[in-house]
Structure 1
Amino acid sequence: MQISRRSFLGTSAAMAAASVLTPDVVRAAAALEHASNWALATADVAADIAPRRLELVHGRVPQGLKGTLYRNGPAQFRRPGRSSDHWFDGDGMVRRWHVEDGQVELTARFADTPKRRQEEEAGAMLMPGFGTLPDPRARIGSADDASPANTSVHKVGDKIWALWEAGSPLEMDAVTLETKGFVTLRPDLKAMPFLAHPRIEPDGTIWNLGVARGKAIVWHLAADGQLRDTGMIDMPMASYVHDFTATARHLVILLQPWVQTRNTLPLSQAFEWLPDQGTKVLVIDKDDLSKQRIFELPAFGFFHVGDAWEETDGTIRFDVAAHKDMMFAAQGAQEVLHGVPLHHEPAEMALVVLGSDGRGRLERTGVVGEFPRSDPRRAGLSRRFSIHTTGERAGRPLATAIGVTDWSSGRTRRFDFGENHVVDEMVYVPKQGGTDEADGWLIGPTVNLQKGVSELHLLDMAHVEDGPVCTWRADVALPAAFHGNWV
């Protein structure tokens, strides 16, 4: 089906308001006097971080470990003339943690967006965001003008793409992190939404959505980022969709009862929690988008889902960080940015099972968890494990621990870094020569609040409860990013 910008969008200004994502931000050049206070997680970064070598402060580095961890998240919320009102609306900063020969080099640069350039000139945060109203001085011609490029980062071909939610990918140099410009996948679809959570098949094929007001663009890209095909689907609910998942054969779109009921700014105020509508799952054939099935589930909210897999009888399974509702998105992330401890219930790890008989169910674990990840070599294929943050609780909506849940046994193992750490999402790295799913490392940063610095940790997935195999320490504290990937 041929789609156009006019058929998908209503107004570019409304799309420009659709910012994104979830918690975990800290600071560069952190002050030690704030070291015991987790509110450090919402402090600003003053400038780019030039390349610097980290100090190995614990353990021994496994032989042959080589690669780069890219991460992205908001890192500036405030300017003298006006500040952002929501955690999801800060300017994106991409971090590059390069590991080689036992050493780590850290570089971090702000995404050089039109938004950031306008606001630097004005000395004020001007653009509309997920929870921030636009300033009358904002100059917005398309969603890309409002993009903070602050949510995730993926390597596509020889470049990296910093992703937002409501506009185009932003291309950056994979080594220097220099901004190259927005990616236009097709001239007539310039500045259309492209979610920050594409699903990437083991051969590198990319599937993604762009979502607005009950419609979704389906993007199908080659591994080098070239557009293969697009399509458009109508969804049964105008739900907020931040993430989706996929099996080898199907796209799987979870539709929560946080539904857009009005056109208003900020976007977070356009949605209403309607639990009587329940949560639905839309399953779509990748080869024929018109072949669709809908499954019904009890009402719950979510930001993030894990990779799905399909069994021989057609049963589909995937993990989800299930929230009681979406108060964190509507209000909680705003309160956290302003230093108000939010007494909300944290997300719980759960497994969605879509049976071949057309019935769906939600299997809860009782385990606190967010940011589910897994072995990317098994994307869309059968797997056992979910990697996730844990340790969040009422009054402290930032993780202190990392967990590994085994869906075959129902057991969760974890390591808690303690109250003086803010734990970022961690990602899976295959061990050299390893082929089993359990033969992997977990790598990711924390902010050491006591030391006032960022640290990078490597854990053995098979023995996660033993804590880091090795730890490197920076001389600055960077915002704990939302999402990223190992290359």
Structure 2
Amino acid sequence: MTSTRRALFMGAAALAVTPDVTRAAQALVVASDWSLATADVEGDVAPRPLRLIHGRAPEGLSGSLYRNGPAKFRRPGGSAQHWFDGDGLIRRWRVQEGQATLAARFADTPKRRQEAEAGVMLMPGFGTVADPRARIGSADDASAANTSVHRVGGKLWALWEAGSPLAMDPETLETEDFVTLRPDLKGMPFLAHPRVEPDGRIWNLGVNGRQAMVWRLAADGALEAAEVIALPRASYIHDFSATANHLVLVLQPWVRTRGVMPLSAAFDWTPEAGTQVLVIDKADLSRRRVYELPPFGVFHVGDAWEEADGTIRFDLCAYKDMDFAARGARAVLNGVPLGGEPAELAMAVLSPNGRGRLERTGVVGEFPRGDPRRAGLARRFSLHTTGERADRPLASAVAVTDWASGRTRAFDFGPDHVTDEMVYVPKPGATHEADAWLVGPSINLKAGVSELHVLDLMHVEDGPVATWRADVALPAAFHGNWV
């Protein structure tokens, strides 16, 4: 990579320090019953057993659910101004021999150390303006490491958007160091949603305006290739998809038009431009097609697949616009009702003739997940959250949509719960897509604690087959994976 390209990518975090003009608005406003979802955790959570309060552990269920999300937003001298900017807390929910345990540790980032010393949230972020006292030498200095966590080789990688993966020990959750995939690529952006093929190969992007780094890694995390490509527009890209043969990028009309911070202030909603989908050949990144769709906003997409005739399909969660990213997640942090529209589950269909369409379901949905064994291959089910409302943007329910029948089945934990993204866990020895458990936590607002649930995919509407309760409440997390 040339020094010019490196300079462009180091600018991805746009880490110039600017005055903090909103310090007066930093006090927590508790205006709803779901404020626990964005409450501060003051320190690490030592390993502890959970209490089984319903059902029993399914036979053969054994492993760890690692999850990541922001859990420290406020300090006496100044606080984060956006939900996406809190310090990352990596949680490990473990189920083994019918018992469940919980442990959690903060990612020990330069950001967190510097802010703890100063007693103020200093660093710039998605929606937070930097404090003039912030010491920033690279994007990694500002990393909150708070968005997702993946097991790569023998390590956990805590992922952000604008900088390097952060390696952690999967057993102790101790922070080790940022991952440098090649010396000349140190500090390059690495998105929080890599796509993992069934054989373990990893694809990911690092995005800066109208450029993207395409990363290809072996299953153990060794770098196989890194190539910069041009994008048709400088859309906000949080997630992307992939088939067995292609990368699939949704270029929404929330476009970066100016180089300012915080990042959310750099984008404009331009619905007249519509939404584009860029399809890139994995074997030759210069071979590409662009599909035109009506305008919609998007954070998350599911795994894509190709049919025999070359048609590409993938599920996504479509927003009317990106007001939640620009404004709503700031309000969520302060417990303020939004009044916006939740995302709708939809299927994007890209035909070989170059035409694309969006098939809407009318179902409220976010955080789509599928069978990891079928990543990039044809599948029938999408697991997702549901239950979000205009006055309550956080989910209370989990659902499974069957694309073959068009039916969505759901279980609602009720208004006293905030439900995290759940993951798909194949049953031991099972090969059919339907033979799976859904595993994930919720916050029991009434009891003031977190709980871990296991549901049967084919009987999701019956509710959990097992629920364990912790003696602590952890705030809502964003993403994670089962190991």
TM-score between the two structures when normalised by the length of structure 1:
0.95
Structure 2 equivalent of residue 6 of structure 1: 4
Residue 332 of structure 1 is aligned with which of 287, 305, 328? 328
Q: How many residues align?
A: 470
Residue 389 of structure 2 is aligned with which of 371, 390, 393? 393
Point out where structure 2 has 5 or more consecutive residues left out of the alignment.
17-29
Q: Using the alignment, how far apart are the partners of 1:282 and 1:178 within structure 2? A: 38
CA 1:475/1:223 → structure 2, altered by over 3 Å: closer, same or farther? same
Q: Using the alignment, how far apart are the partners of 1:446 and 1:197 within structure 2? A: 22
CA deviations 1:240-291 (Å, max 9, x no partner) are 0000000000000010000000010111000000001000000000010000
Runs (4+) of structure 1 exceeding 3 A deviation are 8-14
Is 2:183 the counterpart of 1:187?
Answer: yes
Q: Secondary structure at the match of 2:455?
A: strand
Q: Using the alignment, how far apart are the partners of 1:331 and 1:232 within structure 2? A: 31
Q: Secondary structure at the match of 1:79?
A: coil
Is 2:423 the counterpart of 1:427?
Answer: yes
Q: Using the alignment, how far apart are the partners of 2:467 and 2:32 within structure 1? A: 20
> How many angstroms does 1:10 deviate by?
3.3
Point out where structure 1 has 5 or more consecutive residues left out of the alignment.
19-33
Q: Using the alignment, how far apart are the partners of 2:32 and 2:135 within structure 1? A: 40
Q: Using the alignment, how far apart are the partners of 2:432 and 2:458 within structure 1? A: 11
Residue 346 of structure 1 is aligned with which of 325, 342, 346? 342
Q: Secondary structure at the match of 2:379?
A: coil
Greater shift, 474-483 or 9-18, is seen at 9-18
Structure 2 equivalent of residue 453 of structure 1: 449
> How many angstroms does 1:9 deviate by?
4.1
Q: Using the alignment, how far apart are the partners of 2:228 and 2:265 within structure 1? A: 26
What's the C-alpha RMSD, in Å, of the aligned pairs? Answer: 1.3
Q: Using the alignment, how far apart are the partners of 1:481 and 1:188 within structure 2? A: 32
Structure 2 equivalent of residue 410 of structure 1: 406
Q: Secondary structure at the match of 1:458?
A: strand
Give the letter for the 1:333 counterpart. Answer: A
Residue 306 of structure 1 is aligned with which of 302, 305, 308? 302
Q: 2:280 touches 2:289 (CA, 8 Å); kept in 1?
A: yes
Give the letter for the 2:4 counterpart. Answer: R
Q: Using the alignment, how far apart are the partners of 1:184 and 1:36 within structure 2? A: 42
Q: 1:257 touches 1:277 (CA, 8 Å); kept in 2?
A: yes
Residue 246 of structure 2 is aligned with which of 245, 250, 255? 250
Structure 1 equivalent of residue 33 of structure 2: 37
Q: Using the alignment, how far apart are the partners of 1:36 and 1:264 within structure 2? A: 32
Structure 1 equivalent of residue 128 of structure 2: 132
Give the letter for the 2:399 counterpart. Answer: G
CA 1:17/1:37 → structure 2, altered by over 3 Å: closer, same or farther? farther
Q: 1:43-442 counterparts in 2 under 5 A? A: 43-442=39-438
Q: 1:36 touches 1:449 (CA, 8 Å); kept in 2?
A: no
Q: Using the alignment, how far apart are the partners of 2:194 and 2:301 within structure 1? A: 12
Q: 2:417 touches 2:444 (CA, 8 Å); kept in 1?
A: yes
Q: 1:353 touches 1:363 (CA, 8 Å); kept in 2?
A: yes
> How many angstroms does 1:6 deviate by?
3.0
Q: Using the alignment, how far apart are the partners of 1:5 and 1:452 within structure 2? A: 51
Q: 1:16 touches 1:147 (CA, 8 Å); kept in 2?
A: no
Q: Secondary structure at the match of 1:363?
A: strand
> How many angstroms does 1:12 deviate by?
3.8
Q: Using the alignment, how far apart are the partners of 1:264 and 1:435 within structure 2? A: 50
Give the letter for the 1:380 counterpart. Answer: G
CA 1:331/1:377 → structure 2, altered by over 3 Å: closer, same or farther? same
Give the letter for the 1:282 counterpart. Answer: L
CA 1:17/1:414 → structure 2, altered by over 3 Å: closer, same or farther? farther
Give the letter for the 2:372 counterpart. Answer: P
> How many angstroms does 1:64 deviate by?
1.3
Q: Using the alignment, how far apart are the partners of 1:339 and 1:60 within structure 2? A: 35
Q: 1:220 touches 1:230 (CA, 8 Å); kept in 2?
A: yes
Q: Using the alignment, how far apart are the partners of 2:69 and 2:60 within structure 1? A: 29
Q: Using the alignment, how far apart are the partners of 1:296 and 1:343 within structure 2? A: 29
Q: Using the alignment, how far apart are the partners of 2:354 and 2:122 within structure 1? A: 47
CA 1:378/1:181 → structure 2, altered by over 3 Å: closer, same or farther? same
Q: Using the alignment, how far apart are the partners of 2:183 and 2:9 within structure 1? A: 18
Q: 1:108 touches 1:177 (CA, 8 Å); kept in 2?
A: yes
Q: Using the alignment, how far apart are the partners of 2:12 and 2:402 within structure 1? A: 41
Q: 2:9 touches 2:208 (CA, 8 Å); kept in 1?
A: no
Q: Using the alignment, how far apart are the partners of 1:247 and 1:378 within structure 2? A: 10
Q: Using the alignment, how far apart are the partners of 1:311 and 1:380 within structure 2? A: 11
> How many angstroms does 1:392 deviate by?
0.2
> How many angstroms does 1:17 deviate by?
5.1
Q: Using the alignment, how far apart are the partners of 2:152 and 2:401 within structure 1? A: 29
Give the letter for the 2:276 counterpart. Answer: K
TM-score between the two structures when normalised by the length of structure 2:
0.96
Q: Secondary structure at the match of 2:382?
A: strand
> How many angstroms does 1:4 deviate by?
3.8
Q: 1:285 touches 1:291 (CA, 8 Å); kept in 2?
A: yes
Structure 2 equivalent of residue 26 of structure 1: none
> How many angstroms does 1:7 deviate by?
1.1
Q: Using the alignment, how far apart are the partners of 1:52 and 1:157 within structure 2? A: 26
Q: Using the alignment, how far apart are the partners of 1:10 and 1:187 within structure 2? A: 17
Q: Secondary structure at the match of 1:145?
A: helix
